[in-house]
Amino acid sequence: MQKLKIAIISAHSCPVGDLGTKDTGGMSVYIRELARELGKAGHAIDIYTRIHDPNDPRMEDLADNVRLIHLKAGREARIQKMDVYFSLPEFTFNLENFWKYNDLKYDIVFTHYWMSALVGKYLWETQRIPYIAMYHTLGAVKNAIGIGEGESELRIASELETVHDCRRIIVATEQEKDDLIRYYDAAPDKIGVVPCGVNMELFSPSDKAATRRQLGLNDEKVLLFVGRIDPLKGIDNLIQSLPLLKEKYKLVVVGGDENSRQEMEGLKSLASGLGILDKVDFCGSVKQEKLPLFYSAADVCVVPSYYESFGLVPLESLACGTPVVATAVGDLSNIIEPGINGCIVADNSPQKLADAITMVLGNNNTESKLTIRASVNRWAWSHIAEKIAAEMKAVLEKQPAAVA
C-alpha cells in the first residue's frame, strides 16, 4: 500500500487546544484523531498551526508518524479570528521556510476551515502540491440560519475561491454537499462525503452509579449538554424546556471558558429568571479524557443545535451507551435510530425538546448500554481514516505527486 506524506493545515485552531472553548471544538478533535489513525496506518503526517502561546513547543510528536508544528504568525497569544486572517502571509512564509530548511516535501495538503484553504491555494499555485479542503462550517450556511454573529463577505468570497480552486472537497454529510452545491455552485463530482468518527477506546460505558458518585450527582435524572457555548448550539432552548419536565432532574452543561463568559452569563440569567438556576450545573470546559465520566453518568445527552456540520458529541455519548435527543442537524438523522438509541426532534422548540427528553427518560424499551454503543461501531476512526486515505490517493492518481 502506498504510504503518503501529508501536511495538514489548521492555521487558526490548535488541534491540542482546550476543547469546548470558544474556537476549539470538533475540528480539533477531527484533525488529531484522523492524524493518529493515518499515522497508525503508516502514513507520515505533519500538522501545522500557529503559535498561540509562547510556551507552545515548536515541534512535538503527537503519535506514531504524527508531528505537530507551531509556526509564528501574529502575536504569540490567542487572537481574534480576523487577526489570524491578517497573519496568514506570515504563517505561509514561515511554513515555506520550515519546509526549505528541513528539506520537507509532501504528496498532498489537507486544509481545515476557510482560512487554511487559502494557504492550500497558495501552495498549489507556487509549488503545485494538490490540496484537499474541508470547511467544517460554511459562512453562507451560517448566515442563512441567521443565529449569532454574521459571517463576513471576506469569508464567503474566500470559500468561493477555494471551493473552485482545490483539487477535492471533503464534507462529513450529504447535507453539507448539497449546501456547497447550492450556495457555492461547487461541482458535485468534486465532493467526497466521509463522515467524522469517534474514539471507541476512549468513549466506552462505565457504571452509572459509580460515575455519579464521582461527579457528586444525586439520584435525580441527569441531562447532559457538551459543547462550545455558542448561540448556534440552542442551549437557551434546552434551558427553557426544563420547567416542562415532570421528573426531578439536573442539567449538566459542559463547555465554555473566559471567552464565552458573556454567553454563559446570559444562560445563567435565563435559568435564574425561570427559577431553576439550582438545577443547572455549568462546569466549564472539561478535558476530553474526563468526558466519558459525564456521558456515563447521564440519562440522556441533549443536542439542541440549530446547526452542526457533523456533531461529534452525540457519537461520543452513544459510544458510552447513553441515548441522545437531538435536532436533525449534521449527520444525526443517520446516527440516531428512534427507540434504539434516542430521538430526533423536528425542531429545538422547548416543548419538543421536553417531550422527547420525557419519552427517552421513560422509555423502558431503550436498549442496553451495549446495544446503544454497538449502534455507532461503524464510525470508529480507523474506518474513517481508510476512506480519507483513499480520497487522497484518488486525487494523486489524477495527477503526479510533487514529492521527488
Catalog residues that contact ligand UDP under the rule CB under 6 A.
Answer: 19-20, 25-27, 29, 226-228, 254-255, 285-286, 288, 291, 310-313, 316
Give the list of residues 6+ apart from residue 146 with CB closer than 8 angstroms, or none. Answer: none
Q: How far is the CB of 306 from ligand UDP (least distance, A)?
A: 11
- Rounded distance between C-alpha atoms, residue 168 and residue 187, angstroms: 10
- Rounded distance between C-alpha atoms, residue 21 and residue 228, angstroms: 6
Q: How far is the CB of 403 from ligand UDP (least distance, A)?
A: 32
- Cβ closest to ligand UDP, residue 20 vs residue 39: 20
Q: How far is the CB of 243 from ligand UDP (least distance, A)?
A: 26
- Cβ closest to ligand UDP, residue 312 vs residue 395: 312
| DSSP H/E element including 221 | strand 221-226
Q: Contact at 8 Å (CB) between 171 and 180?
A: yes
Q: How far is the CB of 111 from ligand UDP (least distance, A)?
A: 17
- Cβ closest to ligand UDP, residue 225 vs residue 249: 225
Give the list of residues 6+ apart from residue 199 with CB closer than 8 angstroms, or none. Answer: 33, 316, 319, 381
Q: How far is the CB of 199 from ligand UDP (least distance, A)?
A: 9
- Rounded distance between C-alpha atoms, residue 34 and residue 278, angstroms: 39
Q: How far is the CB of 110 from ligand UDP (least distance, A)?
A: 17
Q: How far is the CB of 142 from ligand UDP (least distance, A)?
A: 11
CB closest to ligand UDP, residue no:
25
3-state SS, residue 19: coil
Residue with cell 448500554: 369
Residue 189, number of CB atoms within 10 A of its CB? 7
HEC sequence for 229-277:
CCHHHCHHHHHHHHHHCCCCEEEEEEECCHHHHHHHHHHHHHHHHCCCH
- Cβ closest to ligand UDP, residue 32 vs residue 279: 32
Compute CA distances 273 → 185, 264, 267, 357, whole Å: 45, 14, 10, 22
- Cβ closest to ligand UDP, residue 199 vs residue 366: 199
